[in-house]
């Protein structure tokens, strides 16, 4: 079918088969891999009623066009996630928790950010269309299934989208190593969006100016900053920690 897509790697394929087995059309497995992990996956997929094909590695390489696949590739139907922020808000059952990525272009970083966002319970990830990576096969593999559960919304005008979030009562918290406050000093129990900058360059000027708070992550060693995906994990889980504290 024209809308089908490929997922590559053990984690990505298993996550989709668990979440929505009916969306998995067929799985291709490397014939040269006869280890326990592959045998267990094959048996499990057959138990789920999923069609499997054992093929040579060259066939898998052709399907994925160079993407690391670990000997596992699935042909799947796209899942219906929210396509815009209005849809996201329509389905929220708790205080908005959003991640904004201002210009993350490395697919490994995006995949890791999406994986962490899913684990932390983020409602959606927002990024600009002109300065961000899309949901490539590399992103899908690194995200380990999170691209299928967390809406990734790419917008034409990020500044306008940030203003719309503020109009909805969402506080924007950005990271800046020069900020006087640490991330632990800002109340994160209400509606909020974390705004993370791009690799190296950080947030753009207008994005920074739209933030309600700027905070820094305390650094105790010799390095000056963290990788964006690591910094995202630190920030998101500070929100998770605060939201789990007993009400005062």
| Residues in contact with 65: Cβ distance below 8 Å, sequence separation at least 6, in sequence order | 137
Residues 34-63 have pLDDT tens digits of: 899 999 999 999 999 999 999 998 899 888
pLDDT digits (tens, 9 = 90+) for 126-158: 999 987 888 888 898 898 888 888 999 999 999
Q: Does domain 85-243 have CATH number 3.40.1280.10?
A: yes
Is 245 labelled a binding residue? no
The confidence score (pLDDT) of residue 238 equals 97
pLDDT at 228 over 50: yes
Q: Is 98 annotated as a binding residue?
A: no
Indicate the pLDDT class of residue 3, thresholds 50, 70 and 90: low
Flag whether pLDDT at 247 surpasses 80. Answer: no
Delimit the CATH 3.40.1280.10 region(s) of the chain: 85-243
Instruction: List, by residue range, all CATH 3.30.1330.30 domains of the chain.
Output: 5-76
Dist CA 239 CA 191 (whole Å): 11
Residue range 11-31, pLDDT digits in tens: 888 888 887 788 889 999 999
User: How wide is the angle at C-alpha 232 spanned by C-alphas 119 and 176, nearest 5°?
Assistant: 160
**Mean pLDDT rounded to a whole number for the chain:** 90
Q: Could you tell me which of 14, 29, 13 has the C-alpha nearest to residue 137? A: 13
Q: Options 3.40.50.720, 3.30.1330.30, 3.50.50.60, 3.40.190.10; which CATH number does 5-76 get? A: 3.30.1330.30
Asked whether the CA dihedral 214, 218, 223, 228 is positive or negative, the reply is: negative
pLDDT confidence of 110, banded at 50, 70, 90?
Answer: very high
| Residue 197 labeled ligand binder | yes
State the pLDDT at residue 170: 97
- What is the tens place of the pLDDT at every residue in 68-102? 888 999 998 877 777 889 889 988 889 999 999 99
Q: Is the pLDDT of residue 1 over 50?
A: no
Look at residue 223 and tell me whether its pLDDT is greater than 50.
Answer: yes
Tell me: pLDDT of 165 over 70. Answer: yes
**Is the pLDDT confidence value at 171 over 90?**
yes
- What are the pLDDT digits (tens) for 180-205? 999 999 999 999 999 998 877 788 99
- pLDDT of amino acid 125: 96
Torsion sign (Cα): 161, 162, 163, 167: positive
E strands present in 93-191: 97-102, 124-128, 152-155, 171-175, 181-182
């Amino acid at each position: 079918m024209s809308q089908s897509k490929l997922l590559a790697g053990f984690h990505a394929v298993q996550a989709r088969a668990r979440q929505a087995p009916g969306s998995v059309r067929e799985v291709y497995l490397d014939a040269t891999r006869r280890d326990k992990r592959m045998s267990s996956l094959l048996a499990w997929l057959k138990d789920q009623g999923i069609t499997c094909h054992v093929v040579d590695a060259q066939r898998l390489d052709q399907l994925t066009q160079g993407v690391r696949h670990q000997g596992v590739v699935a042909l799947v139907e796209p899942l219906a996630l929210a396509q815009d922020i209005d849809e996201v808000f329509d389905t929220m059952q708790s205080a908005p928790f959003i991640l904004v990525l201002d210009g993350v272009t490395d697919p490994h970083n995006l995949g890791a950010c999406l994986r962490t966002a899913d684990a932390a319970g983020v409602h959606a990830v927002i990024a600009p269309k002109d300065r961000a990576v899309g949901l490539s096969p590399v992103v899908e593999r690194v995200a380990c299934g999170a691209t299928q559960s967390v809406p990734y919304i790419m917008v034409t005008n990020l500044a306008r989208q940030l203003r719309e979030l503020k109009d909805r009562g969402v506080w924007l918290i950005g990271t800046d190593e020069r900020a006087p406050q640490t991330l632990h000093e800002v109340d994160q129990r209400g509606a909020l969006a974390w705004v993370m900058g791009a690799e190296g360059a950080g947030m753009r000027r207008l994005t920074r100016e739209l933030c309600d708070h700027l905070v820094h992550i305390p650094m105790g060693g010799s390095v000056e900053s963290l990788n964006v995906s690591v910094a995202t994990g630190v920030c998101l889980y500070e929100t998770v920690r605060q939201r789990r504290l007993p009400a005062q």
